[in-house]
Amino acid sequence: MNCSFEPCQAPLRHCNGRISVPSGALYILFFAAVGITLSGCASPSEPNSAAEQFCSERELQGARSLLLEASGMSLPRPPSPKLESGPRVAGPGFTAQALRWIHSDGESEVHAHLLLPSPLPAGELPLLLNTHGHWGAGIYSREVAARGQLFAREGWAVLSVASRGSEGGALQPPPWLQAHFSEGLYGELRGRRSGRPPLRWELKALWGGLDAALAGRLEVPIQREAVAVMGFSGGAERAILLAASDPRIDAAVIGAAEYAFTTQNGQALCSCGALPGAQQHQQHWLAQIACRPGNPPSARPALLWQDPSLNQTPLPISDRAPLTIRPAASHGVSDAQAVESLFFLEQALLGRSSDPQRHGRLLDQLQRDYFQLDQRLLMTARRTRAPGHIEQGPPPWRDAGPIRASAARAAMGLIEGAPPLKRPPGLGPARMKLQPASPGGDGSGWIVVVADEPLLDGVSWKDRPPETSSIPDSQALPADVPMVFVQPAVAQGADADLQASRWGIDGLGTALGLAVEDVLEAHRRLRGLPGVNPAKIGFIGVGPAGLAALWAAALVGEGGPIALIDAPVTLWWEGPLTGEWPQPWPAWLLAPSVGGAALDPYLVARSLKHRVRWLRPRNGDGKAWQRQRIPGLRVEQAADLFVEPTSP
């Protein structure tokens, strides 16, 4: 694809038939809301340069096909679903009704709210598809429900579609699903997709709602030339994907889309996920929001991005279409933003103009008459399975094959024979300390892997469960043998974890790979000492560092016992939960890559068999491992961790 991207160096204004922004503007960043016109874009004022200013129809179709392919979507659309109506409630100037339909995957239901004006006007209604972010309340959250009520009172049909199965059913969602916003779960939900690309469930859910609406199944006529989508935060990515893949969407309002397709070096505390090839194709996919096949094709949107922490020129993505910028006072959608978005879409799709008096009146009405959507709109979830759960696949102790070292290396970014990983800027080095051997050693040695604090002072890993006792002190460790204590760079506190996890989520590597690389370097140093027998080097892993110790031992191949203290047997969340808020493990354990579930500690420990010893093993939620089945040997005393392994 050969599209031209030329920025105009001027404040927001027309420039040779284009629109640009000043270099200091923050476009599609954490605190920006952007409305993008998708229809009625003017032709360029310089026809001779049209080849430079527009993607060809073939290029546009190719970009859309590429986007769908990266999303794991087949081009044939699933059939339009049959809607099932649920309870209806009346609010001031609108009605809200619960809807559900069977997702095209056949394994789950999609829940939604339909908001309509009351009384219902004659004629066709414009349609707003409302996508929510990753707040606990989803479509019940105030900002999602409030903007839906605002649009409905002003004559729109609003379809708010619940995502990820976390809303709209009477069943209580599992704790891991409720914790969308936690950093660790973001990595987990992305990494545990069993090879399925992210967002395919959400896109098909939105397709179903749009198809049903345009097929007349909302029981109100829809104005087909006035269909918009609006999404903020986690909902922005879904709104972009829908608008970019479906030409029937005529306008979009998106905001807080810091992590649309890629996180753009910002921490996306949700399970939005990045698409394969996003960094290479992002500008073309975003351009698809406004760039439609046609004769001639319409103009592309103006989208710029820059990292506010860096003193650099913003990256030009495209600069061809009108847009509005409404800075947000917070991550969410304020009432004022909701009103401004209404005005923008009315002008873009309906040709209406507004005035400040109406703005103030609607804002007052929205704040005064907001109607809390409640349990009356819940429909019994007969067959709903959370899509995150579907994408996870089975837990690793069910029907999983043996690990493959080459595949594991590739998943972590540790290609054999390749140079060391290029590390995130600013990440410090690993901390290593050698404890020399006393004279008369038998050739054995130990790699002691810790996280957050040195082993001799006890380990303090993120959100350690309260019943976790102190690890064995130095007297419990083997004496008179050489040891290397190593604290991986990513395991040196929350800041290092956050930095490395951001870097990994952006597809530049994996934080787990960095940790394993540090442990392998410690092993290299230890085996180089005089008198050390590589076949007798054991590993000790404490808390989350146990996973790095396990993988280093597996990649080395030979060695002595592997002693794990307060370490996770699995990072899977299907184990027994206690009901307490679960989030004990740092994000660097969770490889944000397709097939990342193959790096689960259960699988690698099972492959190491009798070498692995567990003291106080932990579950995926950080509590005590209650299952009898464990890959290795459970011990009750620290001294039993360090005995020589015996073949079964």
Question: pLDDT tens digit string along 430-443?
Answer: 999 888 876 557 78
Give Cα separations from 44 to 50, 55, 157, 299, 529 (angstroms). Answer: 7, 12, 34, 8, 71
The predicted pLDDT at position 552 comes to: 97
The predicted pLDDT at position 488 comes to: 95
One-letter amino acid at 356 equals P
In degrees and rounded to multiples of 5, residue 390 shows phi and psi of -60, -45
| pLDDT 10s digits, 24-75 | 211 222 222 333 332 222 222 333 332 233 445 566 567 667 777 766 666 6
Q: What is the mean pLDDT of the chain?
A: 69
The highest-confidence range among 73-82, 200-209, 386-395, by mean pLDDT, is: 200-209
Is it the case that residue 560 has pLDDT exceeding 80?
Answer: yes
The predicted pLDDT at position 456 comes to: 30
Are 219 and 204 a contacting pair, CB within 8 Å?
no
Token reading at 205: 């859910």
The predicted pLDDT at position 407 comes to: 86
What would the 3-class secondary structure string for 195-212 be? CCCCCHHHHHHHHHHHHH
pLDDT band at 521, cuts 50/70/90?
very high
Q: Where are the beta strands (DSSP E) in 10-71?
A: 13-15, 18-20, 32-37
The predicted pLDDT at position 224 comes to: 93
Q: Answer with the residue of higher pLDDT: 5 or 340.
A: 340
Is it the case that residue 585 has pLDDT exceeding 50?
Answer: yes
The predicted pLDDT at position 156 comes to: 98
The predicted pLDDT at position 341 comes to: 87
Return the percentage of the chain with pLDDT > 90, whole number.
Answer: 25
DSSP 156: -
d(CA 206, CA 463) in angstroms, rounded, equals 37
**Would you tell me how many other CB atoms lie within 10 Å of the CB of residue 332?**
17
The predicted pLDDT at position 35 comes to: 36
Q: Answer with the residue of higher pLDDT: 190 or 455.
A: 190
Instruction: Write the DSSP string, 87-118.
Output: EEEEETTEEEEEEEEE-TTSS-EEEEEEEEES
pLDDT band at 553, cuts 50/70/90?
very high
d(CA 18, CA 32) in angstroms, rounded, equals 21
The highest-confidence range among 219-228, 393-402, 458-467, 578-587, by mean pLDDT, is: 219-228
d(CA 124, CA 265) in angstroms, rounded, equals 43
Mean pLDDT, to the nearest integer, of 499-525? 85
d(CA 22, CA 134) in angstroms, rounded, equals 31
d(CA 240, CA 261) in angstroms, rounded, equals 9
Half-sphere exposure in the Cβ direction for 341 (13 Å, CA): 32
Asked which of 30-34, 242-246, 415-419, 589-593 is least confident by mean pLDDT, the reply is 30-34
Mean pLDDT, to the nearest integer, of 338-351? 88
Angle between helices 57-70 and 234-245 (to 10 degrees): 140
Are 229 and 128 a contacting pair, CB within 8 Å?
yes
What would the 3-class secondary structure string for 397-455 be? CCCCCCCCHHHHHHHHCCCCCCCCCCCCCCCCCCEEEEECCCCCCCCCEEEEECCCCCH
Instruction: Write the DSSP string, 338-349.
Output: HHHHHHHHIIII
| pLDDT 10s digits, 231-260 | 877 777 778 778 777 778 878 787 655 443
Are 529 and 445 a contacting pair, CB within 8 Å?
yes
The highest-confidence range among 343-347, 516-520, 565-569, 588-592, by mean pLDDT, is: 516-520
Mean pLDDT, to the nearest integer, of 352-376? 89
Q: 62 exposed, middle or buried (CB, 10 Å; 0-12, 13-18, 19+)?
A: middle
Is it the case that residue 106 has pLDDT exceeding 50?
Answer: yes
Is it the case that residue 117 has pLDDT exceeding 60?
Answer: yes
Tokens 């030329």 appear where?
Answer: 6
Q: Where are the beta strands (DSSP E) in 118-260?
A: 125-131, 157-161, 222-232, 251-255
CA quadruple 582, 587, 589, 592: dihedral positive or negative?
positive
The predicted pLDDT at position 367 comes to: 92
| pLDDT 10s digits, 270-320 | 334 445 565 566 555 555 544 333 333 333 333 333 333 434 333 333 333
d(CA 56, CA 295) in angstroms, rounded, equals 9
Is it the case that residue 89 has pLDDT exceeding 80?
Answer: yes
The predicted pLDDT at position 637 comes to: 84
The predicted pLDDT at position 218 comes to: 92
The predicted pLDDT at position 595 comes to: 62
Asked which of 65-74, 270-279, 353-362, 376-385 is least confident by mean pLDDT, the reply is 270-279
- Residue 119, preceding peptide bond in cis (omega within 30° of 0): yes
The predicted pLDDT at position 52 comes to: 32
The predicted pLDDT at position 626 comes to: 78
pTM of full prediction above 0.95: no
The predicted pLDDT at position 644 comes to: 64
| pLDDT 10s digits, 533-548 | 999 999 999 889 999 9
Tokens 């997709």 appear where?
Answer: 193
**Domains defined along the chain, listed by start:** 59-377 (3.40.50.1820), 405-457+482-641 (3.40.50)
The predicted pLDDT at position 476 comes to: 62
Asked which of 97-111, 147-161, 384-398 is least confident by mean pLDDT, the reply is 384-398
| pLDDT 10s digits, 161-210 | 987 544 434 444 444 344 333 333 444 444 444 445 556 777 888 999 99
Are 67 and 245 a contacting pair, CB within 8 Å?
yes
Q: Answer with the residue of higher pLDDT: 606 or 505.
A: 606
Instruction: Write the DSSP string, 570-609.
Output: ---S-S---SSPP--S-GGGS--STTGGGG-HHHHHHHHG
Instruction: Enumerate residues 6+ apart whose C-beta is below 8 A from 108.
Output: 102, 165, 201, 383, 384, 385, 386, 387, 390
CA quadruple 260, 264, 266, 268: dihedral positive or negative?
positive
The predicted pLDDT at position 103 comes to: 86
Q: Answer with the residue of higher pLDDT: 59 or 580.
A: 59
d(CA 212, CA 216) in angstroms, rounded, equals 6
